[in-house]
Copies of this chain bind each other. A is one copy, B any other.
Amino acid sequence: MLPGQNKISNKDLDPGVKKLYLNLPLPSLKDNTGDIDRLRRALQAGQGLKSVRIPYGLIGFSSRVMREASFQVTATVVREGEEWELLDISPGDTTKEFFGLALDLGTTRMVGTLVDLRTGEVLSEHSMDNPQIRYGADILTRIHYAHDPNGLKELTAAVREGIGKMVAQLAAKAGVQTGSIYSMTVAGNTAMTHFFMGLDPSSIPREPYIPLVNRPDPVPAGELEIPIHPQARVFIFPNVGSYFGGDLIAGLLASGLARRNEVSILVDVGTNAEVVLGNSDWLMACAGAAGPALEGGVAQMGMTAGDGAIDRVSLDRNTLRPVYSVIGRVAPLGICGSGLIDLAAELFSVGLLDRRGKLVPERDPSRFKETTSGLAYILVPGQETGRGEDMVLTQIDVDIFLRSKAAMYTILTTIIDSVGLRFQDLAHFYVAGTFGNYIAPVKAITLGMLPDLPLERYVPLGNSSLTGALQVLCNFSLREEAWCLCDRITYIEMNVNTEFMQRFSAACFLPHTDRSLFPSVSVP
C-alpha cells in the first residue's frame, strides 16, 4: 500500500468513531436544558446516535468549551457496542482533523499506515524494526526474558516506545497532529499482543498453552501509553490461542476466505507456518514450526528481505551460472527466503542437488568449495558481494532448509487430510506475509514445499495483517467479524506422532518420495 492507494469507498467507511460539527441552539429561558444535556440532545436527536454517554471527566471541560465557543463545537464520539461515548470536544469546526492508524505489529518488523477517516485514504506509511529485537530475535527468547525482574516492563516499554516513534513518523509524513488520531487497530501474534498490553506471556509456550487473553476489549490509547488521542480506542485483533494470533485473524479477514462458499487455504510462513483451511461454513487451523530457514534466517548468508538481499535466483541451463536480483539495487549482502527457495529449486532442476538433498559438486566443480561447515556452493564470489567474502550455501544449510520445507508440506498434508479433502479441491491457495509477496510458487512446487496446483490458484496477499487492520479501522462491523472468526476456527494441535514423522521423512526428498504427487515437476 502506498499513499493515495487503497482508498476505501465512502459507502463502506464506518470507523466506529465520528467527528461532528454542532451548531447548538443557544441557552435561553425558553430552552433551559443543561449544557451537557444540550450536547447530548444534539448528538442523539440531532445526529441520530442511539445513546450517548458523557464521561464524568468531560462534563466541566465540555461546558467551558461550549460556552467559550458560543455553542459552536466539534464533538468526537466513539462507539461502544450499541452506545456511543463522548471522546472529546473542541471549539469550532475541526472535523477535517480526523485520522486513524492501522498497525501490523510483527515480531521482527512493524508497519503502520495513517488514514484519513473522512475518506479512507492512506496518508502515510512507515515501517521499522521492532525495538524488542535487542532482547532477542525470536519470540521465545523474549518470553524467557520477560521472567527477569522488570523484564516484562522493559519489553513492553520497548514495543510501546517503537510505536510512539511510528506514530510520530506517520504524523510527520502526513503533516497532521498526533492528537487528532482518534482510532487505532493493531494486528500482532499472541505473544506480541501480550507484550504490547504489558501482560505476562509466560503461559503462552507452556502446556496447556493458555494466553491471558484472546479477545481483549478495545482499550483507550492513554492506558497503553500510545501517544495518539488518549481516549482513542485501540482495537487489538483477537487470538485463537497461543499459536494462532491476531495477525492471522487480520490476514484471514483480508483474504475473504471465510466469506466464500468454495474451500481455500491460507498459509502464513514466518518462524511458524500457520495455516487456515475452510470456507464460509467451516474453518480449520493449525500451526507448526516450519523453521526460520524459509525466511532466510538460518542459512549462513541468510537475511530478511531488505536492501542487499538476493530475492530472485536462476541458473543458466547451459553455463549453470547463477543470475540473481538484489533488493535495493546494491551489492548483495545475503539471501532472503524467496531467494533461497529459488536457489534450491534451481540447483535441483539443473542437477546440482539430488533427490536426497545432497549437493552434487561433480556437475560444476568450479562453484564448490570445502568450508569449515563442510561442502558449499558458491552463489556469489567475494569480490561481487558487499561483504567481501563468498556467499555460500553449505550442505548444512541445505539440510536445515529441506527439513523446513518438509515440515511445511507435512503440515499442509495433515490439515487437508484431517477433513478428507485433496489439494486439488482448493479454489485458492493464499500465501500471506512477505514470503507470499516474494515467493515464486513454481519454485516452491519444484521443491515439494507447496502442492502441485495450477499456478493461478496461488494468490499472494502481501502484508495481509496490515490490510486486515486497515479494513477494521475503516469498518466497525468487521470487529464483530474478526471476533466471530476466532469462535468459528477449530484449532488442530499438530501432534508429532508416527504418522507425522513418516510423512515428514517422505517430504524431505525432492520434491517427495511419491513423485505422482508432483506431476508437473521434471526430475533431472
9 new A-B contacts, CB < 8 A, other than A29-B208, A36-B213, A56-B219, are A29-B207, A32-B209, A34-B214, A36-B215, A37-B214, A55-B217, A57-B223, A60-B198, A60-B200
- What's the Cα separation between A59 and B197 when bound, in Å? 9
Residue of B nearest to A39 (CB): B213
Chain A positions 10 through 35: 1 when the CB is less than 8 Å from some CB of chain B, otherwise 0: 00000000000000000111001111
Chain A positions 194 through 216: 1 when the CB is less than 8 Å from some CB of chain B, otherwise 0: 00011110000001111111111
- Cβ of A456 within 8 Å of any chain B Cβ, yes or no, is no
Give the chain B neighbours of A59 by CB distance below 8 A: 197, 199, 212-213, 216
Residue among B35, B211, B220 making CB contact with A212, cutoff 8 Å: B35
- Cβ of A463 within 8 Å of any chain B Cβ, yes or no, is no
Dominant secondary structure of chain A at its interface with chain B: loop
- What's the Cα separation between A519 and B96 when bound, in Å? 71
- What's the Cα separation between A197 and B54 when bound, in Å? 14
- Cβ of A82 within 8 Å of any chain B Cβ, yes or no, is yes
- Cβ of A148 within 8 Å of any chain B Cβ, yes or no, is no
- What's the Cα separation between A179 and B219 when bound, in Å? 25
A39 to chain B, nearest CB (A): 9
Chain A positions 36 through 69: 1 when the CB is less than 8 Å from some CB of chain B, otherwise 0: 1100100000000001011111011001000000
Q: How many copies does the complex hold?
A: 2
Q: State which residues 211-233 of A face B: CB under 8 Å.
A: 211-217, 219-220, 223-224
Chain A positions 240 through 268: 1 when the CB is less than 8 Å from some CB of chain B, otherwise 0: 01100000000000000000000000000
- Cβ of A81 within 8 Å of any chain B Cβ, yes or no, is yes
Decide: A32 near B213, CB < 8 A? Known: A59-B199, A199-B59, A223-B57. no
- What's the Cα separation between A220 and B54 when bound, in Å? 13
The reply to whether A32 and B197 contact each other, CB–CB distance below 8 Å, is no
Decide: A32 near B208, CB < 8 A? Known: A55-B217, A56-B197, A198-B60. yes
- Cβ of A83 within 8 Å of any chain B Cβ, yes or no, is yes
Give the chain B neighbours of A63 by CB distance below 8 A: 199-200, 212-213
A519 to chain B, nearest CB (A): 39
Decide: A36 near B212, CB < 8 A? Known: A57-B223, A81-B82, A81-B83. yes
Give the chain B neighbours of A241 by CB distance below 8 A: 32, 34
Interface size class of A (residues with CB under 8 A): 35 or more
Residue of B nearest to A28 (CB): B208
Give the chain B neighbours of A370 by CB distance below 8 A: none
- Cβ of A362 within 8 Å of any chain B Cβ, yes or no, is no
Chain A positions 136 through 177: 1 when the CB is less than 8 Å from some CB of chain B, otherwise 0: 000000000000000000000000000000000000000000
Residue of B nearest to A190 (CB): B34
- What's the Cα separation between A223 and B197 when bound, in Å? 24
- What's the Cα separation between A200 and B59 when bound, in Å? 10
Residue of B nearest to A83 (CB): B81
A67 to chain B, nearest CB (A): 8
A332 to chain B, nearest CB (A): 44
- What's the Cα separation between A198 and B213 when bound, in Å? 37
